[in-house]
Every structure is written in C-alpha cells, then in structure tokens.
A and B are shown apart, each in its own frame.
Chain A
Amino acid sequence: MDLFMNLALNGLATGMLIFLLAAGLTLIFGLMDVLNFAHGGLFAWGAYSGLWIYSKTDSFLIGIIGAIVTGFILGIVTEKWIIKPVYGNHVQQILITLGLMMVLSEMLKVIWGPNQLTASPPDYLKGSWEIGEINLIKYRVFIIIVGLLVFAGVQFMLKKTKIGLVVQAGVMNKEMVQALGINIQRVFMFVFMIGAGMAALGGVLLGPYSGVIHAGMGMEFAILAFIVVVIGGMGNFKGSVLAAILVGLSGSFMAYYVPDLSLAVNMLLMAVVLIIRPQGLFSAKG
C-alpha cells in the first residue's frame, strides 16, 4: 500500500509538471495554430532563473514568482519577435521555434555554465507527513496542489472571464472574432505569455523535485509534453490535464516495474492514439 501510494503520488507530481508544460502548448496550438518547439526551452529557463533567484534571496516563493515573470517576458519577446513574423506558414514556424529552442538552451549554458546545478526544496517543504503507514513526501504534495490550483485558475479564466471567452471563441473561429472588432493579436500575445509562464513555473518546481537541473531537461520534458498534447487532443485544455496525469502515472509505475520500457510505453500510447484517434482521447468532437 505504501509503495502504491508512493508511486501514485510520484506519478501525479510528475503528471502535474508535464501538465504545466503541456497546457501552454495546447492552448497556443488551439488558438494560434502554432506548435511551439521552444516550449521546453522556456521550461528550462524557468528552472534556471527561478533557482538562481531562490539562491540569491533565500526565498522559494520569490524564486517561483521570478520564474513566472521570466516566463512572461520570454513569452512576450518570443511571440513578438519570433512567432509573429511567420504566422500562417507552418514549416517556417516549426523550423524557427526549434531554432529558438537551440538558442535558449545554449544561452543557459553561456549564463550558468554547462554543468548541472543542484537544487533542494526550502526547509518547510522538506521531509514528509506520516499518516498511518503512508508516507507523504511534502514537496510532491505541494507540486500536486500547485498544479491543481493552476488548472482551476486557468479553467476559471477560460469559463468565467471576458478574455477567456475571447480565447475560447478564437479557438473556434479566429476570423469571426476579428470581425467582431476584437484585436486577436493582443489575445495571441496574452495566451502565449500565460503559456510561457506556466512552462516556467513547471520548470522551477521541477528543480527541487528531481534535485538537479541541466540544460537538456527542457527537451526531455518537451517530448513528454508532446505526447500529452497528442493524447489529450491538440487544443484541448481539459484533455491535457487528464492525459498528463495518465502519462505521469504510467511513467512512474512503469519506471518501477519495467524501468527499461517506461518511455517506450508512453510513446506507444501516443502512436496508437495518433493512428486510431488523431483528434485525441479526450476530445469531445468525435
């Protein structure tokens, strides 16, 4: 039971981190029809900048906020300078965002050196709670809570606010939204900013969770996030959280029982989904 709970908790925490990355990807894709290959780079930038601020100020909270702000800034710059000039051309978008990914991860090495950095959670999130036989590691619970809060927050924004309404309408029909006199470019930038901020948040949370961060981790998590986005359905926000939990759990259980196959299982899942249901497992439209 203890083992099962531990694996489940681990899977959920990883799932939440993947969700933070995949949610931005799927929103950006749904609204702007851009698949951002540089999203993993934003994730890694969140991790490095957040932990750097954390180490300077000794406050994990300020570190997290710093990471999110970094994400916002990078998101705006990326949208304005990199994505906007190539709207509408898929091949160019794919190529340019991959180039940005390359530059972002090399920049990390230039600024913080090529070696991996260690990170540990702040004192109040160290250790674990013991409930009966079950051992709950505090930091994992914290990640899960943050993930759920972000999910609830974005869900609230999408459903209950005006900008959320515009975003949802934009996913359905961009031209119509524009025809109704809404500046869709501003909405694009907003969504890109939010997506980048979520990715950066995921990155900074990952640091103390895995203990080390390195420039290549953006790519590793980006691949998982792509799998999640495909399984959940491109542009489907609710699907992405379910798929992220699925991928996180299957990864954590597989890593324990058949470690060599853990990535392969997720890949296989994605291949099957792409062949049988290319619109995603959780997509409402049949």
Chain B
Amino acid sequence: MNKFADKRPAIIFLLFILLLFLLPFVYESRNLLILLTQIFIFSIFAMSYDLLIGFTGIVSFGHAMYFGLGSYSIGIFMKRFEPDMTYFLWAVLTTIALTAIVSFIVGLLTLRLKSHFYAMLTMSLAGLFLVLAEKWRTLTFGNDGFTFRVPELFIDRTNFYLLCLIGMAAVFFGLRRFVNSPLGRVLQAIRENEQRTASLGFQVLHYKIAASVVSGVLAGIAGILYAISLRYVNTSVFSMDITLDALLMTIIGGVGTLAGPIIGAGIIEFAHDWLTGLAKEHWIFERWIIFFGIIYILVVMFFPQGIVGTLRKIAWKRKKKSYPVKSEQKAAG
C-alpha cells in the first residue's frame, strides 16, 4: 500500500485530466462528448462504491438508493421551481443532507451485522425506495418519470462535460486524501481484519458509518449529474441495475484502487455503446449485460483484484514501478 505515497500516479492522472479537458476544444464530436460525460458520472459513482467495497470491505447492494435520491432531488427542484443556479445549489444541499441522513441511519441500523445481512438489507432497502418512488406519484410521477429544464449553464454540452470532468477529478483527489488520512487507514485496517482493529481500540462501527456517509453523499452527487445529463428522471435510478453497474465497474476495474473504478466505468460505457451499436446486426448484443455478467464472475473467481490490482501485482513482481493509468487504450478495445 506504500504505492499511495508515490506521487507518480497523481501526475499521470493530472495529465490525463488535462488531455480530456482540452479534448472538446480540438475534437468536435457530440456523441463522444456525451459518452465521456457518462463515463465521468459513473466514475464518481463507482469510486464512491469502491470506498465501501474496496477500502472498507463492506458489500452494499443498495447503492442505487443514494444515486436515486440525488437524481430525484435535482429533478424535483428543477421541475417545481425555476431552473436556475440558486435552486441547483439548493438541490445539491438537499441531496447532501438527504443522502447523509439516510446513509447514517442505514449504517447505524445495519453495519453491526455480518456482511451477508448487510448486503441483503441494503438490497431490500433500495427496493423499498424503488417502491416509494413508484407509489408517491404526486411527487415523482411514478414509473413514467418526468422531464425538466436545467440551468442555462448546463444546457451547453461542453460546459457540462467540463463540469463532470472537474467533478471526477475532485472526487478522485478528495478520496485519495481521504483513504490516506488516518481515518482511511483505519478503514483499510477494518477491511483487512475487523476483530484486530476492534481490539486495538478503534470503534469499528463509527468508522464504518463514516465511510458509508461519505460514500452515500458522493453517490448522491453522481445521481444529480446523471439526472442533469438526461434532463429526465424516472424510477429506474433506484433500480438494481444501477447498483449492478457500479459493481461491475468496480470489480472489473479493480477494487481497492481509485483508478480501477474509473477504468472500469470507461470500459463498461464504451463497450455498452459499442455493443448496442452491434445490436442492429445481431439481437444477442442487446443483451450485452450477459457478457459482462460472465466476465464479472470470472474476474471475481480468478482476478479478485480486477484489472488495476492484477496489473499492479504483476508490476510488483517485476519489481518495476509502473502505474497502469492507460485507460484509453484498454477502453477502446
């Protein structure tokens, strides 16, 4: 884990961000821009998920509930009030407050349980939110969802692209600080050995709740960006599929690393785009998730550390210092 002390990955990442920052000014492609925006949004979501699964060792199957809370907050604010920056900020604050409260309560109730129960309970709770969003029609318009207008600043795709990119970079560096802070170290200790951490005198539950709240809030922010990018929200934001997306991205990319979820998000979104394009030629590509399901099972079985973790292990074995942030080449393939 000393790898984190190394400054090189951060520099590579910074260069990578700079490159992406300049992209819309030199290369005009609306589709690519939209696709990359999606990748940034899901990177934020997957990194927030990785904080739980990869850094603290908590498996949550209900991460979609925070995502959905964010999406609905922005949607309802923009629909009910004026779509301007003031209400955008209000929506962000509401999301932060809601996700923090919900994740705190969920954590308080369930984090003392064993991993099975936690996974099961969060899954059911997310199901509860889905039902709630379907039934509370006066607020959410049920399954049909609703469209809304967004603040003027975000109407321009390039602006929104840059916002999401900056958001992703901020979350990356913020989480990097977080996992290397004393608090983050304790979280990693909990992942490695919970009993030992507890017997060293740490209140394991408090640390787990802290991780759960940070992760929940970040997932909510990803939900806000997602809803803005679609300008539409419906109950699917609470569905299991959203959690599965985060799970696939994190596991395939590499758990316990921050570059992993970003690479995973890139691979999955690019492949999704590519495979749905292929669906015209053969219907099986419409069911693209099946390929990822199989890859996912194989990764869990044989490469439990994902792409980044496995590459890192190889690099360590060769005793060479190399850090794999080459997502563009891999993502294209």
Contacts and interface: CB of A to CB of B under 8 A. Distances in A.
A264 to B, nearest CB: 6
> What is the interface residue range for chain B against chain A?
35 or more
A82 B131 contact: no
Contacts, number: 91
B287 interface: yes
A177 interface: no
Given A85-B301, A275-B109, A103 B116 contact: no
B128 A109 contact: no
Select the residue from B121, B124, B284 with max chain A CB neighbours within 10 A.
Answer: B124
A95 B59 contact: yes
B244 to A, nearest CB: 6
Contacts of B300: 86, 92, 95-96, 99
> What is the interface residue range for chain A against chain B?
35 or more
A242 B200 CA distance: 42
B57 interface: yes
B247 interface: yes
Contacts of A226: 120, 123-124
A86 B301 contact: yes
A176 B305 CA distance: 34
A103 B131 contact: no
A110 interface: yes
Given A274-B121, A275-B109, A109 B115 contact: no
Given A91-B115, A226-B123, A267-B128, A103 B301 contact: no
B131 A264 contact: yes
A103 B289 CA distance: 8
Interface string A120-157: 00000000000000000000000000000000000000
A254 interface: no
Interface in A51-102: 82, 85-86, 90-92, 94-96, 98-100, 102
A241 to B, nearest CB: 19
B102 interface: no
Interface string A252-286: 00000000100110010011001100100000000
B127 interface: yes
Interface of B: 53, 57, 59, 61, 109-110, 113-117, 119-121, 123-125, 127-128, 131-132, 135, 240, 244, 247, 251, 284, 287, 289-290, 293-294, 296-297, 300-301, 304
8 contacts: A95-B247, A95-B251, A95-B300, A106-B289, A267-B124, A267-B127, A274-B113, A274-B117
